Structure 1
Amino acid sequence: MFRNFKMVSKVVFGRGCFSQLGDILEGQRSGKNAVMVFLMDDVFESGPLKDRLPMKAEDLLIWVNVDDEPKTKYVDQLTTQVKKYMVAKHDHLPSGVIGIGGGSTMDLAKAVALMLTNEGSSADYQGWDLIKNPAVYHCAVPTLSGTGAEVSRTTVLTGPEKKLGLNSDHTVFDQIVLDPEMIADAPNPQRFYTGMDCYIHCVESLTGTYLNSFSQAYGEKSIELCREVFLTDTPDADDKLMMASYCGGMSIAYSQVGICHALSYGLAFVLGLHHGIGNSVVFDYLEDYYPEGVREFRKMMERQGIDLPRNLVSGLTDDQMDTMINVALVLEPLWENALGKDWKTIMTRDKIRELYLKM
């Protein structure tokens, strides 16, 4: 059975296209108060970007903090905040949710849009295709590029028991606004780590057992753009990185990621390590599985002047190590993509522990 997956239905790309956001949202405003909810990374709270938001009097702006990876508890808190605001406006649902920020902010926007129409806690929906009801309209404006969150069908959340996404066709954004000017001031090493998430997406997709011509076409273009951005002095680097992120996200939409992402989920759950950093830390120790990719990754690190954090697991207890292993092993499609259907005979708990101990 071939997967019939949903793609972002509307995309606008180009320098300065953020100025069109107001016109784009106008066509979605409905209901008594026509409320739009803006979830915006609080890093912009003291800057000029907030003054460019196309907000109307009834709209709600929520500054979200993404110092930590998004948690189900935080999603539930934000959802409750929006619901209380709408009750005060004597309306049931907002007209839309707009996420403005990096991958974590976009994931929060997707999750809140879903939980406004699905009962219970977001932790109840961590898994594949558990979401029953369509989300409210949701739109993204990336201010970092690399995660592919703007096009993916998942919103990665850390719950009380696991780190696992809300994987659903309903998760996909209805609209994305890709303005390269929005990522121009992203600082290193954050820009590098987010870009490496994209690069690693592509390495894992292009070497995986799920590979097909659809994934290959997007993955090859994305990895080519990553090489231009991180190994050369290319003009329009921000434009190319933004498109690498888009293509990288599309590549894994019809395939999967692999060993690096599975292991990084364990690191993030126990150590709170951000996704891009976690991927980079793990990938540096996977030369046995992705030899060409790891060697090229190290060239990118050297050229960009990046030093990875080391000895991260040295103080962990046996229980914490077991938790990391358990979190990684939940992600069975990732292991199967990397190692094939017999992956459980290859990647044992002892082997995963051995890999973690290197970090």
Structure 2
Amino acid sequence: MTLFAAARLPREILFGKGQRQVLPQVASRHGKRALVCTDERFAATAIFGEMMAALRNTSVEILVHDRTLPDVPRDSVAVCVAEAKDFKPDMVVGIGGGSCLDMAKCAALLISHGGRLQDYYGEFKVPGPTLPLIAVPTTAGTGSEVTPVAVISDPERLLKVGISSPHLIAAVALCDPELTATCPPALTAIAGADALTHAIEAFTAARRGTDPTLPQQHVFVGKSALTDHFALLAVKLLGRSLERAYRDGADEDARADVMMGALAAGCAFGTAGTAAAHAVQYPVGALTHTPHGLGVATMLPYVMNYNLPAAASEFAEVGAALGLPHADIELKDRASATIAEVSRLFGSIGITRTLAELGLPAGKIEWTAEQALGIDRLIKNNPRPFDAAAMRRLVQAAYDGDMPASLM
């Protein structure tokens, strides 16, 4: 096999307890005026106030936009950009969960290049570099601090849409696990399950060949040696610590593992891409208005079971990273045990078991399958191909909780 790999990452990744304290030094290297994007909840915390005071003490002027909403409604970005027009920022700092980081990416894009967000939907539509972005996550899940994509909700479209470009990657990812210490158990679970889904779908993504033009034509190019490294690190860290962080939010080691796992998963799927679990979640999320991480994690065991004939060896490696025994056990049995362990782990942290429990109407199963099958960038990344009947069976199986049926 000819070795092929691609990776697009921030220029600088800083990780560790207390790293938020170096934000002023990092920011001052990028200018003197910072637009800060966050949400109302985090803006009201003492720790945010301390971070802003530290910026001001380093002579960095700030303009805080603290009205980021979940899923980043399209028109809310225009409001933020209009507020920042006269301020003329040198950089954008995103502090918060995935939506805050996506808001920061979109704001940097429009401040730099103008136009409307709609002009940039899809891949490689951003014409050049944007204002430097410093991404400071306060949850451990989306990996947006290292990825080339921003996801928003458009009132003219039922499904969420993405802007994918290497120019959206943060200049600096500043990750301090102490910022996740106040995440409630449910959010810890959903975010962490999202990260584990990213890692497993990136590790089992299709190999797309060795065409040297592939990374120039697509942002997400399938699995490679580099993305596999990040994905398995994420699986190891999340497997050993997600349940611990869920049960004891004060466990600093578990919090650090989960945040590093989310970061590593972002490094993996930011180039490899994700697959069918994400494809199904797009229409399911549109109908049920449930959190993205909850939806993809609900789907993941069924998608893994469907992919078993095509990805048994990869699942066995995932199982080893999760700490499952593998000596003298047949490959298929190791792969099946991995799927069972993922299901067990998700169940232990309260992840919904079926699409029915998630709230998907029975009458929308056919529509959900049709919409999922139409998301080509995700479906072509799946290791086992789909046709309309196979997707319909998968969605029905996930609705019914019929794991054996998802293998058909």
Output the TM-score relative to the length of structure 2.
0.76
Residue 62 of structure 1, aligned match among 59, 62, 65:
65
Q: Which residue of 2 aligns with 1:7?
A: 9
- What's the offset of the Cα at 1:346? 6.5
CA 1:59–1:316: 2 relative to 1, 3 Å: farther
The C-alpha deviation readout for 1:181-240, integer Å capped at 9, x for no partner, is 111121111011100111111111222223322121111111010111135688611111
Unaligned segments of structure 1, at least 5 residues = none
Q: Which residue of 2 aligns with 1:212?
A: 224
Aligned amino acid, residue 105 of structure 1: C
Q: Is the 8 A contact 1:64 1:105 kept in 2?
A: no
1:136 is paired with a residue of what secondary structure?
coil
Q: Kindly, what percent of the aligned residue pairs are identical?
A: 22
CA 1:287–1:222: 2 relative to 1, 3 Å: closer
- 1:229 paired with 2:224, answer no
The C-alpha deviation readout for 1:110-129, integer Å capped at 9, x for no partner, is 11111112232212212111
Matches within 5 A, 1:197-346: 197-210=194-207, 211-231=223-243, 236-286=253-303, 288-289=305-306, 292=337, 294-306=339-351, 310-315=356-361, 322=367, 324-325=368-369, 327-339=371-383, 342-344=385-387
Q: Which residue of 2 aligns with 1:49?
A: 47
Find the aligned partners of 1:130 and 1:355 in 2 and give their Cα distance: 37
Find the aligned partners of 2:49 and 2:244 in 1 and give their Cα distance: 35
Output the TM-score relative to the length of structure 1.
0.85
Find the aligned partners of 1:2 and 1:132 in 2 and give their Cα distance: 27
Aligned amino acid, residue 47 of structure 1: T
- What's the offset of the Cα at 1:301? 3.0
Find the aligned partners of 2:360 and 2:30 in 1 and give their Cα distance: 51
Find the aligned partners of 1:10 and 1:247 in 2 and give their Cα distance: 14
Residue 130 of structure 1, aligned match among 125, 133, 147:
125
Relative to total residues, which structure has the larger helix share, 1 or 2? 2
1:198 is paired with a residue of what secondary structure?
helix
- What's the offset of the Cα at 1:286? 3.3
The C-alpha deviation readout for 1:56-81, integer Å capped at 9, x for no partner, is 38421111343x32222222222222
- What's the offset of the Cα at 1:288? 2.7
Find the aligned partners of 1:288 and 1:305 in 2 and give their Cα distance: 20
- What's the offset of the Cα at 1:295? 2.0
The C-alpha deviation readout for 1:254-293, integer Å capped at 9, x for no partner, is 3121111111122223333221122123235435325555
Find the aligned partners of 1:277 and 1:137 in 2 and give their Cα distance: 31
Residue 115 of structure 1, aligned match among 103, 110, 121:
110
The C-alpha deviation readout for 1:4-39, integer Å capped at 9, x for no partner, is 65310012222111111011111211xxxx421111
- What's the offset of the Cα at 1:179? 0.9
Q: Is the 8 A contact 1:69 1:273 kept in 2?
A: no
1:133 is paired with a residue of what secondary structure?
coil
Matches within 5 A, 1:18-37: 18-29=20-31, 34-37=32-35
Aligned amino acid, residue 143 of structure 1: T
- 1:101 paired with 2:118, answer no
Aligned residues: 343
